Structure 1
Amino acid sequence: MSSPAPVSPARKAALAFIFVTVLLDILAFGIIIPVLPQLIKQMVGGDTGAAATWYGVIGMVFSAVQFFCNPVQGALSDRYGRRPVILLSNLGLGLDFVLMALVQTLPWLIVARVISGMTSASFSTANAYIADVTPPERRAAAFGLLGAAFGIGFVLGPALGGLLGEADLRLPFWVAAGLCLANFCYGYFVLPESHAPEKRTPQLDWRRANPLGALRLLQRYPQVYGLALVIFLSNLAHFVLNHTFVLYADYRYHWGPWEVGLTLGLVGICNAVVQAGLVRKVVPRLGERRTIFTGLVFGAIGFAWQGSATTGLISLLAIPCLALWGMAGPATQSLVTRQVDPSEQGRLQGAIAGLASIAGIVGPGLHTQIFAWGVASDAVWHLPGAAFLFSAVLLLVALGVAWRVTRPAAAPLRPEAAEP
């Protein structure tokens, strides 16, 4: 077997920019995590219950807007190129953080979060950019770098946001705006276009630049459709960490913010190590298919372990398994991009991001309700870890789907190859 072709300096520079772009965007979002609930509480007159309700509503609105806007950005990047979409997204996001730093009322804050949902959809375009500039055999490692950027951003962002918020509740929004605007300036002078004109779609078809049209694109590629379901189930399982772990750790282990913060930070660090370092070594050895299976098995074990752990110390031992689950995502993305024509990579990533947004709409309420059922005083079974066990089941279902759609006999022809 011949060794993969070396990566050109131009491609290395482009990958470095996309890594920095995603890292700065995630940092910007992570910075406001500790202070956004407090800002909402301030706007509703200090009512904690009302603040919690509105925080949940705003989160659902944000995900719903992303669901509609991700396919649009993907279609725009297929037609006009990745560079203008990424740059305009960075610029719009930076200006929106300025708006959030200035608003004084809840309706205007909701408007600002809607704009954030529209402009932050650039993550799908970043994935399409990776598919453009990276040969198939290196894509899993490249997507792993993006996963590492997510992990690093979510570790550093909330810590920095909490520190800045102690000085001024609105300071994190100004810093987030500065990061995004700096990202725009950096990209304006550094980022090359990755999508060649001859590979772009000849015209923008608005019938396809919508969530339903994007999902119809997935149906044209049966294997991609199945793998997109795997990504959806994985995202749905992941929301148990975002929205239930704090409640679960407080109820079962009596952990406060300090212990929870350290634990989630450790999860982020381990995940970054796996995706930045381990993925590029494992995928060439196991192949994408086996790497997906391995990652999903480790994830299911990690969630089952977490949901069954009776002490905080025992629960920490689940972190390596949850980190190794991170191998599945880059391998799945890499396998998906092999199946779709370069002219449709943007719409593909928009459709996948749209499914992740649906998980963002459904997941928080679903997991918190399962947790509430498990700890209710009149529950038939007292099961504090029910939400984590449910996530383990979701990953086992995803494993079954992945096994079925990636069988050699099930690998479909591309639509154009299947035509007579």
Structure 2
Amino acid sequence: MKREGETTAELSRAPVSSPVNTTEQSKKMRVMNAVYIITALDITWMFLQLSVTPYLAKKLGFDTLWFGYLQTTVGVIQLIGGPVFGRFGDVFGARAALSLACASTSVFFVLLAIADHPFMLFIHKLPSIFMHVLPACQMVVTDLSEPEKRADALSKLGLCFGIGMIAGSTLGGQLSTHYGEKFTACVGAAGSAFSLLLVLSFIPKSTKSEAPRSSSKSENQNQKVFSLGEITRLMKFPGVMRIFLIKIITGLPSGIFQVMFSIIAMDFFKLEAKQNGYLMAYFGIVQMVVQGGVIGRLTSRFPERSLLLLSIGVTAGVGLAQAYMQTVFQLCLTVTPWIFSLSVFNVITDSMLTKSVPSSDTGTMLGLCASVQSLIRTIGPTIGGFLYMNYGLTSIGLIEFFVNSVVFVYLLQRHLRKTERQNE
């Protein structure tokens, strides 16, 4: 039996043959499996939402410009909420964070179901400030996985993302076609409520190893959720600022292509909705294969810094190919290495950043990582729209090639200098 006062960290150092260690590992795996299911369900509801919002917005009189404002609103809200939510998870524990995220998602869908005025579409986006189920699941996986296996464990969440993408797109299309947008939104609300029940049933209050208690004054200071100093101090740890800047700089060009893809598919490749659905399903399958079967094998054989260099180099090559592609077939050829490079890049940078800070602050760091994606969704449509309308698809691909090439050369030089110093 677990003795009083014995922490999870102490149990993890028990001998392999110890029954206590075996029991703890079994509990960890049960929690992580529940987290994977919750992730797949949440992504399903989110892609189901994509089959509702555009059509409901059109019925309520939104044009392309106002729909862009609506999407930008979500990006700004989640940009603000990401770091605060991560800090909330560190202070109050995994179950509280996931419960808040799932409850917010359920409210989000309820407001969408009753939206009958353009203003209500903006109101229904407000709960998205706490709709960070995926970062919350990353918190749990980060806490429960060993450092050397963290990248593999995080990549499994990407596999769940692919499953949810396919299931949500298919289910949302069928429900919207046969029963309408409001019924589909109600299904999303019920599904999010079910995810909340899974959280309350299977996720422990805290998944972090217990740490020694500090003085009461310091403890009270560290419990502040809205402490900007507690959030930004993570950038002072060695290597964090550099990796974080790389995540933003190299992620922005690829993010621009992502947020502009629906417009590119309709305007440049002349794809109909049905054909676009098939293409999205193909994207989901590729991501499932990469996240579930490739990244784990790579991280077990190669150092993370080498994989980071590889992902940036591949992205540069893909950007050059995207600049000159003309057919859907050429698009499909570029998608596989593109998804591979993005998946490896996101998993490796998240893993490196969480390893660079104390275990008590991994939630805040993952919240900051999530804010990078929100930042891209906020400014990406404006930059991408300007580039596409004035300079065409070629400009987006060439910027992706140029930016990633510069970062690749920079990291390669650092790697070579470090190797030389080690040899000396």
TM-score where L is the length of structure 2: 0.85
**Which of 151, 157, 160 is matched with 1:146 structurally?**
157
Alignment of 1:6-405 (within 5 A): 8-44=25-61, 50-115=62-127, 117-167=128-178, 168-192=180-204, 193-198=206-211, 202-203=219-220, 209=226, 213=229, 216-325=232-341, 326-375=343-392, 384-400=393-409, 402-403=411-412
Q: 1:231 to 1:407 in 2, by over 3 A?
A: farther
- Structure 1 unmatched runs, 5+: 45-49, 376-383, 411-420
Counterpart Cα distance in 2 of 1:402 and 1:350:
25
Q: 1:86: how far off?
A: 0.7
Q: 1:106 to 1:213 in 2, by over 3 A?
A: farther
Q: 1:403: how far off?
A: 4.6
Q: 1:86 to 1:207 in 2, by over 3 A?
A: closer
Q: 1:95: how far off?
A: 2.5
Q: 1:32: how far off?
A: 1.3
Q: 1:246: how far off?
A: 3.0
Task: Find the residue that maps to 2:302 and give its secondary structure.
Answer: helix
* Corresponding residue number in structure 1 for 2:9: none
Task: Find the residue that maps to 2:66 and give its secondary structure.
Answer: helix
Q: 1:398: how far off?
A: 4.3
Note if contact 2:39-2:161 (Cα within 8 Å) is conserved in structure 1: yes
Q: 1:36: how far off?
A: 0.6
Task: Find the residue that maps to 1:274 and give its secondary structure.
Answer: helix
Once the two structures are overlaid, the 10-residue window that deviates more, 308-317 or 385-394, is 385-394
Q: Which amino acid aligns with 2:211?
A: E
Counterpart Cα distance in 2 of 1:297 and 1:309:
19
Moved over 6 A (4+): 404-408
- Provide the alpha-carbon RMSD of the alignment: 2.6
Counterpart Cα distance in 2 of 1:225 and 1:173:
40
Task: Find the residue that maps to 1:103 and give its secondary structure.
Answer: coil
Q: 1:81 to 1:207 in 2, by over 3 A?
A: closer
Q: 1:33: how far off?
A: 0.8
Note if contact 2:98-2:137 (Cα within 8 Å) is conserved in structure 1: yes
Q: 1:333: how far off?
A: 1.5
Counterpart Cα distance in 1 of 2:153 and 2:242:
22
Q: 1:185: how far off?
A: 0.5
Note if contact 1:96-1:177 (Cα within 8 Å) is conserved in structure 2: yes
Q: Deviations over 1:79-129 (max 9, x none)?
A: 1211111112212211221121112112222111111x2221243232222
Counterpart Cα distance in 2 of 1:298 and 1:214:
36
Once the two structures are overlaid, the 10-residue window that deviates more, 388-397 or 155-164, is 388-397
TM-score where L is the length of structure 1: 0.85
Counterpart Cα distance in 2 of 1:58 and 1:252:
24
Counterpart Cα distance in 2 of 1:63 and 1:95:
18
* Corresponding residue number in structure 1 for 2:11: none
Equivalent residues, number: 392
Q: Which amino acid aligns with 2:46?
A: F
Note if contact 2:257-2:396 (Cα within 8 Å) is conserved in structure 1: no
Note if contact 1:130-1:142 (Cα within 8 Å) is conserved in structure 2: yes
Counterpart Cα distance in 2 of 1:295 and 1:33:
29
Q: Which amino acid aligns with 2:260?
A: T
Q: 1:188: how far off?
A: 0.8
Q: 1:314: how far off?
A: 2.2
State the identity as a percent. 20
Q: 1:186: how far off?
A: 1.1
Q: 1:331: how far off?
A: 1.7
- Structure 2 unmatched runs, 5+: 1-15, 17-21, 420-424
